[in-house]
A and B are shown apart, each in its own frame.
Chain A
């Protein structure tokens, strides 16, 4: 009676540990296909947000910033997509890319309900927070875990752009206060 229970418990514990460990591992260390997808997702999110803002805003600084987001992230996305193709890398969804997308969808819904200065503030505040998050992910997760040298190099080249965007966003944020 006790033996089967103990056995089940032991196997159960082992299985849980493995499953948990595996999950932890995939969240902490994305593969190259997952990294490619995270990069493309992050770019696409900002392109979409930029397009929305460029249409909605009447503030020239905000409009310039939004157009910059569309221009820059479209270009980075093109390079990333071309590289993925060249490396025969099929971008793969992960918890990270899905999480990014979910948060962005929620934010877009909120922004669509706003207009005027309220919209501007919400958009720019989000851009600051978003670029801080993306920069952190690039530094702590994407670059350190990229195995392919060209992919790593692309991420390293993209990094200064995200930093520039963050600084830009902060400037616009100050001008709205």
Chain B
């Protein structure tokens, strides 16, 4: 073991450091709070990390890396796992060759998300082991453990973080020596990797066999540990909630689960037998409580009211006391809003003025739904603006249908807007449709990350650029306009009115850089220019 380092790092940074120390060949993912900093840190510290257009592609790339015998890290926010779920469920069957760790950064309390889904359910549903760290040291240790576990059983492993683990900083004391990346090689094994039914049937049995073995490992694994305390109260917990519990009930006995799938049921049974009262305290869904009860072990669980939002020391004290009286209202704060000079303000003003029905999407521009703009009518998931807008157009009466506009940002369009655009061309509504792409040249909401349409990679170095207008034309939209709505608001309004009144399909790209990113974008462009000039100088 290396000498103690003692650095103050976030959970995200700790995962990146562990990935580097584990010899990860490639980190990939799509930006999403609270996971974004993992790949950024990996890149900043000399690792190979890249943004994919979306989480599904990221996981597919990571699977390829692992099929070649290398170690891959793939990161995303909780809802990103929904996008990646298709391959996740089947790569659990096929297994992998090197190692593959998927970080799911959940957001209980929805500090920056559209739902608070509990991704521990995914571990069970897909049949992949899950580890849950409580702080930065554990984020580091459990990332390393996840790679070992993945490599040993040739199975993808999920590391479930939450906002407070990802973004809280705590002291990282111990790092392991850096491991060498394993050599890569592709070994042909068609029955193991081509998941046709004849191959997938035995693969499913192999998966269940692995999970049974991993459950036995989990029973003995030091990642699940008991903190001896008084007999009167035993608490079973995981993740950051463990720390809230230790503070709220310092005398209680605690079973801290680092492996939350497969669960060490024997250990749990043994723990509950040793205490008078056993209480499961967990954030989000009653996942542990339900699984423990299903195994026939009697435990108490939190009241339903604590399913909503994050837990903290105050709430854990209430859970322990069995207090389900109404809680104090949260502090009122100032809500976020679009920046004063945001290039999206102008188009939203026009949408409002024209009384458009706006099928919106995910990004900074979702703030356009809040007062005083009030200019977005639906928002559900990445890319949904297209499908939802088209559905509205299909069934609304003509006058209303003509007011429907789908609004999506540049990064979200790359993520999952293109298939919606294909649907628009394939099944056009009778009144046509208008797609407004707000292109501010960055993934603004998550902190100005690059994406395929910026023409720069994660570390801001130039690469091939996917041109949004070319994509729209290639898909088959004949009316594609690019306009700076802030510089020419009257022109933008006129254009939008015109497009809404026709029965054609059209795309309007309102392009102007994000006010927060504009300076940096100029700098990257100048650097790329200088680089190009260097390369063209005669020898």
A, B co-complexed: no
Give me the interface of B with A, judged by CB distance under 8 Å. Answer: none
